[in-house]
């Protein structure tokens, strides 16, 4: 079996251009949303925003059917006993707005001298705009984004150098590829874990958001931009419930 811990992380973009990403056309495939909970054995669902009482968050997580199949392909590359731990998938506009507003408040608290433009730019590094524009939907609102990590055969999350939704610079996917920025003793261990997650996911077709080691995309504008494809296949969507 190939050792995914030893393959360096090579992102295709060093700067994330939200304006350019939003220009990628969408040809909706109408692929349905499905529950992440239905994937057997290799996936643990941990709906972090529901657990944290973020408005609009659901107790189950949903992703597009094609994303589910890709996730299952990636899960088959994990060693015996290892599992993906999924923190978030499809996200409602209500939840997106709540997260955006919270992050903006954090930025204002930590950087009271920032201009409005600087505050917005810092907020967008972690949370996308809660867009209702069908031509440029929020990535998670498409069902094509997924946030996750890996648990080992003892049920422990692998050390990724910081938690899910970490807002520090160390959250950047390639941070530990640069040994000069990190503690050398810590860097090797964390570097290998990040490489493991990144390479398993990208091997089956996902792309990564460079600011967050946990965020991967398939089928949406982020993915199309990273892949250089002519169009995305997932636009805004929502789960269909018979009693809602």
23: domain CATH number is 3.30.1380.10
Which distant-in-sequence residues (6+ apart) come within 8 Å of 98 by Cβ?
54, 55, 56
Q: What is the structure's pLDDT at 188?
A: 86
Which ranges of the chain have pLDDT less than 50?
none
- Model confidence over 145-193: pLDDT tens digits? 999 999 999 999 999 999 999 988 899 999 998 766 556 566 788 999 9
Question: What pLDDT is stored for residue 95 in this prediction?
Answer: 98
Q: What SS3 class is residue 107?
A: helix
Q: Say how many C-beta atoms besides its own lie within 10 A of residue 231's C-beta.
A: 11
Tell me what pLDDT residue 16 has: 83
For residue 111, say whether it is annotated as part of any ligand binding site.
Answer: no
- Using CA atoms, how far apart are residues 224 and 232, in angstroms rounded to an integer? 5
Task: Look up the domain containing 216 and give its range.
Answer: 18-92+138-227
Residue 62 placed within a domain: yes
Residues with Cβ within 8 Å of 26's Cβ and at least 6 positions away in sequence, in order, are 134, 135, 137, 221, 231, 232, 233, 234, 235
Domain membership flag for residue 129: no
Residue 109, in any domain of the structure: no
Catalytically active residues are: 212
Is residue 111 one of the residues assigned to a domain? no
pLDDT score of 179: 62
Residue 75: per-residue pLDDT: 97
106 domain-assigned: no
Q: What is the pLDDT of residue 204?
A: 98
Residue 86 resides in a domain = yes
Beta partners for 43? 84
pLDDT value of residue 244:
79
Residue 102 lies in a domain: no
> Does residue 26 lie in a domain region?
yes
pLDDT of residue 13: 66
E strands, 133-195, in order: 145-151
Question: Is 140 marked as a binding-site residue?
Answer: yes
- The helix/strand/coil state of 159 is coil
Contact 140, 134 (CB under 8 A): no
Report the alpha-carbon distance of residue 83 to residue 79 in Å, rounded: 8
Q: Is 147 annotated as a binding residue?
A: yes
The whole-number pLDDT of residue 180 equals 60
Give pLDDT, residue 10. Answer: 84
Count of domains observed in the chain: 1
């Amino acid at each position: 079996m190939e050792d995914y811990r030893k393959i360096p992380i090579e992102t295709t973009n060093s700067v994330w251009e939200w304006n350019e990403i939003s220009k990628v056309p969408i040809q909706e495939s109408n692929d349905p949303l499905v529950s992440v909970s239905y994937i057997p054995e290799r996936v643990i669902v941990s709906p972090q925003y529901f657990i944290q009482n973020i408005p609009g968050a659901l107790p189950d997580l949903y992703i597009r059917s094609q994303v589910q199949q890709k996730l299952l392909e990636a899960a088959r590359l994990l060693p015996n006993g290892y599992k993906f731990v999924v923190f978030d998938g499809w996200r409602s506009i209500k939840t997106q707005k709540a997260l955006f507003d919270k992050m903006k408040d954090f930025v204002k608290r930590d950087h009271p001298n920032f201009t409005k433009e600087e505050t917005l730019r810092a907020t967008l590094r972690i949370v996308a705009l809660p867009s209702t524009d069908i031509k440029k939907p929020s990535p998670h609102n498409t069902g094509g984004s997924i946030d996750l990590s890996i648990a080992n055969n003892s049920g422990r999350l692998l050390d990724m150098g910081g938690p899910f939704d970490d807002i520090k610079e160390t959250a950047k996917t390639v941070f530990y590829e640069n040994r000069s920025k990190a503690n050398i003793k810590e860097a090797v261990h964390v570097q290998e874990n990040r490489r493991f997650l990144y390479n398993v996911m990208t091997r089956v077709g996902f792309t990564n958001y460079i600011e967050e080691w946990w965020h991967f995309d398939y089928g949406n504008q982020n993915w199309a931009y990273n892949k250089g494809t002519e169009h995305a296949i997932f636009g805004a969507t929502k789960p269909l419930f018979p009693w809602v």
